A and B are shown apart, each in its own frame.
Chain A
């Protein structure tokens, strides 16, 4: 079945450490997104990518970095510059391109905590 796989499900970060969250999709979607969700809050966009080798900052990109070397993969690195990284991180993808709008598909998320 097609879908989005995020790993790991739980991740712990030490002070000063960079950590990378994995996101892989087999839906053949062009566009991919990373969101952050804090308790009782809606989702906020961190980064998004329309095509391979291209990505754009979202509303809260500071302290994060991404890459898009393959269509299927869009990893997110939480750097030591992100002072409040504890949150639930969600990856999504959509078909992109022209044509009628299609809903975004989401992975099951990675919960990041500080040790």
Chain B
């Protein structure tokens, strides 16, 4: 059974710092790895999706990498801003069944960027 772990559970950094969030998964037979952002009391917003055949994806100040052999993904945030404060969740997707994807989520990393 796939298990996804995110370390650390919480992280506090000063504004402008570059930071890395970690995600590990136990079963390397994934279809894709997704990173989401969740603001308090809100739903999830998709940030990046890395297909199993890819090594990384970039969007603006965000860069996500994937190493299936070691069961790890990282989310790199450059030049952090107070608006980046949120909980970041990663989710691993097994090969889809009939077009649906049963994502397995980590518990998230709560990021606070201090002005």
Query: Which residues of chain A have a CB within 8 Å of any CB of chain B?
Result: 4, 6, 30-31, 33, 40-45, 48-51, 56, 58, 90, 92, 94, 96-98, 100-109, 111
CB pair B34 A48 closer than 8 Å: no
* A100: chain B residues within 8 A (beta carbon): 51
In the complex, which of the residues A6, A33, A41 contacts B100, with contact meaning CB atoms closer than 8 Å? A33
CB pair B107–A40 under 8 Å, yes or no, is yes
Q: Which of B31, B45, B96, B106 has the most CB of A within 10 A?
A: B96
Contact mask B81-115 → A, CB, 8 Å, 1/0? 00000000101010011111111011110000000
Contact B46 A30 (CB under 8 A): no
Given A42-B89, A42-B107, A100-B51, A106 contacting B100 (CB threshold 8 A): no
Alpha-carbon distance between A33 and B43 when the two chains are bound, in angstroms: 13
How far is B89's CA from A40's CA once the two chains are assembled, in angstroms?
11
**B44 contacts the other chain (CB 8 A):** yes
Once A101-B32, A101-B51, A103-B49 are accepted as A-B contacts, the answer to whether A45 and B106 lie under 8 Å apart by CB is: no
Residues on the B chain within 8 Å of A105, using CB = 46
Return the chain A residue nearest B35 by Cβ. A103
On whether A42 and B46 interact (CB within 8 A), knowing A48-B102, A50-B100, A100-B51, the answer reads: no
